[in-house]
A = this chain, B = another copy of it.
Amino acid sequence: MISDANLRRIPRETLEPTARRGIAVRPDTSKVEIGLNAAIVAVLDNEPVVLAVRESTDASAPEGLPFGPFEPLEHRTLEGGLRAWVAEQAGLDLGYVEQLYSFGDRGRHAEPGDAAPHVVSIGYLALTEASHIQELQRGLWRSWYHYFPWEDWRKGRPDILETELAPRLREWAERPPLKASPERPVRRQDRIRMCFGLDGAAWDEEKVLERYELLYEAGLVEEARRDGREASLSWSPPPRFGGMMRFDHRRILATAIGRTRAKIKYRPVIFELMPGEFTLFELQKTVEAILGPHLHKQNFRRLVEGAGLVEPTGDVKTRTGGRPAKLYRFRKEVLLERPAPGVRVKPGRVQ
């Protein structure tokens, strides 16, 4: 127990009780709406997909994530509110859910013709097994690489990086910032290099949000134009990459992808995406669908078996195209044995 000797007192020069100012005193100027947004992820046939919904049945209506406002009178918790909205909008009962981040930038919520009240978006990640998603009532499952084509490294480094993104990002980096920015700690060129793994830098598959934000700043995603960053950015309108989403939903999805990629390495959440029984190669394919690169098959087996993440069911799966594969299931006891069990593939070993 620490004694209070280490406690430092600082003279209080200004004595007004500012600590409580505002709360319960000001009427409504400080009230905002909270939007609860869900990136619901599954892996279908080795494709990571996310549930997208449209405002109307019009196929040209913009896509977004399922969302709804937090209703403090109806919802006891934030996560409860999210589950309620998803159940109503998509007819889906969520299993694994985790909070991602709260976004509140002004301007990031505008839609054409919107009154744009101030909204703070709280993003959530939900993981669900592919077999559960038949019950869906509305919405469509889209590959998350539809929105982020540069994140798809399953067939090697995607061409779009060198041919499309790199030259336009470099052009943007050479354009001076409009207002002298308050001492950016890292230069634009270096940010681009580190985020996108250019000029020999390593690709870090977890930096999904950083990459999206950089493209947004550079005016290379549609949302930047929609939010009015157009005028300040481009002489000739540059192309814009990846499918757009409403509001700041693509930013939330970027956060969700990055979090998923990070989390499977130290929590056994990959099994939220798997059926009860699976072969080790199916497990590997699911991991690769999420992380991107090809993993060494024999070492992957050693990794997951050695970590005690799985146990054989005793059955085998035939018709694999060769020798039958043993079936495995998630070994729940690992939660009681290791503090941070996960598919510990090394970061930075990609390329």
Contact surface of A with B, Cβ cutoff 8 Å: 1-2, 4, 6-15, 17-24, 26, 28-35, 44-45, 47, 49, 53-57, 64, 66-73, 76-78, 88-89, 91, 99, 101-106, 114-115, 117-120, 122, 136-143, 145-146, 149, 152, 158, 160, 186, 190, 193-194, 201-202, 204, 206-207, 335-336, 338-340, 347-348
Contacts and interface: CB of A to CB of B under 8 A. Distances in A.
Contact of A18 (B7, B21, B68): B68
A335 B186 contact: yes
A64 B7 contact: no
A333 B136 CA distance: 49
A55 B76 CA distance: 28
A47 B7 CA distance: 10
B340 A204 contact: yes
Contact of A115 (B2, B24, B78, B138): B24
B13 A137 contact: yes
A120 B21 CA distance: 16
A336 B186 CA distance: 9
Contacts of A34: 30, 32, 34, 104, 120
A80 B225 CA distance: 24
B193 A336 contact: yes
A202 to B, nearest CB: 5
A160 B70 CA distance: 40
A140 B10 CA distance: 6
Contact of A158 (B1, B19, B72): B1
Nearest to A136: B10
A78 to B, nearest CB: 4
